[in-house]
Amino acid sequence: MIRIEPNMAAHHEPPPLIFVIFGASGDLTHRKLLPALYELHRKGDIHPKTRIIGVARKDKSSQGFRKEAVDGIRSFSRHLPEDPKDDPEDLKAFLERIHYFPLSFERSDDFDRLAEYLLDPEILKVVNGNILFYLATPPAFFIPIVEQIGRIRPRLDSSGRNGFTRLVIEKPFGHDLPSAKALNKSVLSVFREEEVHRIDHYLGKETVQNILILRLANPVFGALWSRDVISCVEIRVFETIGIEGRGAYFEKAGILRDMVQNHLFQLLTLTAMEPPVSFDADSIRDEKVKVLRALVPWKGGAPSESILFGQYAEGGVLDEPVMAYRQEKGVEAGSVVETYAAMKVEIQNMRWAGVPFHLVAGKRMSRKATEIVLHYRKPPVALFRLAGCHDDTENVLTLSIQPNEGISLRFGIKRPGSPLRIDQADLTFAYNQIYPDDPPEAYSRLIYDVMIGDATLFARNDEVEKAWAFMEAFLSLNRDPKLYPAGADGPQEVVDFFSIDLS
């Protein structure tokens, strides 16, 4: 039984602000951002005076944008009825916050008009001068938009307003080290680092945030979090979906850029970091960067010893037939782009030296799962085997991040009766059983943090560049992906590659 204490932590009320979304006509805005903002509004976690401005190329009215917003919220929010006649009053109040501003990202005069709009005293005074820019556009527009904001920002800052200016920028933050550095240089020429929030929605999930709590608030686990007792750490992200019509993008990215460099490295740093000196944003991010600095770089040799590439072929996922990656729209017939990657990495520090970290990401897998799995060392003496008992018990701690968030610990128990037999049992904690209410959607949590100015769950510029620096050697490798049927657990070769079963 879990004892749930009243939440005594102070709840920070977000200040009023203008929330400007570049790319307001895009899929991300309608699938994630507007439903997340509606959820925050529904819970009272947006200031009543906050205004949301959708910015995009298409010429439409605010009323037309609100209609699109309702369609997105009705499709993707967890708390909206499907029948429009049952729409709650709070949805109508939310729509009153939303406005639309047509703008071409390359036209300076359009940004001049945007500056005039934002400087309208009737708007600016109401929100105390606070402005938040959210870049939900394709990456090619990041630098042009930032440069245009940089051109109008002196006007915004000299207007006498006393509020803050913040930037949220979506992944991918660059596609290699040089492009990440160029983007950082552009962004930091306009914004201070503390004003920038590089978002990765994985960090908004409850179990990800619970990694540090599990370690640092529970000495029983904190004492078992090092090379002394751990033999191997697996971090894996499996998806049943394919490339979802993004063939042209994925041909340039592959799974290394799309998932490993960001999602898996974020989970790696949170799992392996040292306890921070305090629980503030920079202290936590300092420790994450130290992990990236301690990664043993690949210096050549046989790539097959460090990385395995795979690509899905025809098969079936969840009893549905699936075409091969090379048959997807926008994909070249003989493409060697990877949809699966397995990596071995090592962290050369006092806590983790000698412990292999296995990073795995794949699309069109048999199941959807994001997991961190800690394998504990077996006893040095097979005591029960000496007594004639078959004992293959291994202690395993699993942090499940999606789809079912929770924690489980595997251990050995004696089977009732005689002769002596040892079975494996799981001690499991599931969030949805203890907290039946839906957990906060990841984007809702992260947007709330941006509004209150908490950067803990966002990547810092040096963290991004260190991750790309480590990946550089692998990005330049010639690909020869091993084919695996869609719906499998990756290429058969992965068993020998890791010498363990990752199913």
* Mean pLDDT across the chain: 88
- pTM higher than 0.85, yes or no? yes
pLDDT value at residue 6: 43
Which band of pLDDT confidence, cut at 50, 70 and 90, is reported for residue 169? Answer: very high
The CATH class given to the 18-170 domain equals alpha beta
pLDDT digits (tens, 9 = 90+) for 176-212: 999 999 999 999 999 999 999 999 887 887 777 788 8
Q: Which helix (H) or strand (E) holds 369?
A: strand 369-376
Q: Are the C-beta atoms of 444 and 416 separated by less than 8 Å?
A: no
CA 498 to chain centre: 25
Which band of pLDDT confidence, cut at 50, 70 and 90, is reported for residue 363? Answer: very high
Which one, of 281, 284, 256, lies nearest residue 270 by Cα?
284
Same fold across 18-170 and 206-438+459-500: no
Q: Of how many residues is the chain composed?
A: 503
- The binding site for substrate comprises 201, 205, 239, 258, 363, 368
Q: Which helix (H) or strand (E) holds 422?
A: strand 422-430
To the nearest whole percent, how much of the chain has pLDDT over 90?
64
3-state secondary structure 170-225: CCCCCCCHHHHHHHHHHHHCCCCHHHEEECCHHHHCHHHHHHHHHHHCCHHHHCCC
- Report how far residue 390's alpha carbon sits from residue 35's, in angstroms, rounded to the nearest whole number: 53
Average pLDDT (365-377) is 94
Q: Catalytic positions, please?
A: 263
Which band of pLDDT confidence, cut at 50, 70 and 90, is reported for residue 80? Answer: low
- Report how far residue 473's alpha carbon sits from residue 466's, in angstroms, rounded to the nearest whole number: 13
Per CATH, is 206-438+459-500 categorized as 3.30.360.10?
Answer: yes
pLDDT digits (tens, 9 = 90+) for 123-139: 888 898 999 999 999 99
- The binding site comprises 57, 171, 201, 205, 239, 258, 363, 368
Average pLDDT (59-81) is 86
pLDDT value at residue 193: 96
Query: In this model, does residue 21 exceed pLDDT 60?
Result: yes
Q: 201 by DSSP, 3-state: which?
A: helix
- Domain residue limits, the chain: 18-170, 206-438+459-500
Residue keyed to tokens 């962290």: 347
